[in-house]
Copies of this chain bind each other. A is one copy, B any other.
Amino acid sequence: MNKSAFHQLSYGVYVISTWDKGRATGCTANSAMQITSSPATIAVSINHDNYTNQCIQDTGKFAISILGEHSSPGIIGTFGFKSGKDCNKFDEVEHTVKGYLPVVSDACAYITCEVVDKMETSTHTVFLGRVLDADILKKDAPMTYSYYHNVIKGRSPKNAPTYIE
């Protein structure tokens, strides 16, 4: 098996956020995809070790902030390489509340969802969310995972399914 074939799958770069007892928290993710059109649902995959996973289980809601090529790369660092259990990530990154959920202000678009189903795997939960609200925040090309690696020269957090030791 040549695992480099996995890197030919295309992804975006997202911050998945929710509330932790009234406090905004979240983590970076590259795994989000629309599943149904009407009603619109979206699946996101979150590692069990991400504190955000437990917070989504508790609130039953999450927001997807879609990062653009001009979104600050610092956002990915803050949300990908720290734990929301230990710090307030949103202290460092400006957010706005959309559809009752915290969203990264410097994203190009957001989608807010209510969890309607989930699938458990050995390390990740795939949450299926019914879309509550969505909008464009600013005109920017969505950042692809490939752009993040090749142009920004970013690396993958350890909890990412695409992580390589």
Contact = CB atoms under 8 A, between A and B. Distances in A.
Contacts of A108: 8
Contact of A6 (B124, B128, B134): B134
Interface stretch (A40-48, A73-81, A88-96): A40-48
A71 to B, nearest CB: 12
B128 A8 contact: no
24 contacts: A1-B132, A1-B135, A2-B136, A5-B66, A6-B40, A6-B42, A8-B12, A8-B136, A8-B142, A9-B12, A10-B11, A31-B34, A31-B35, A33-B33, A33-B161, A34-B162, A35-B121, A37-B162, A117-B121, A119-B119, A119-B128, A121-B128, A126-B128, A144-B146
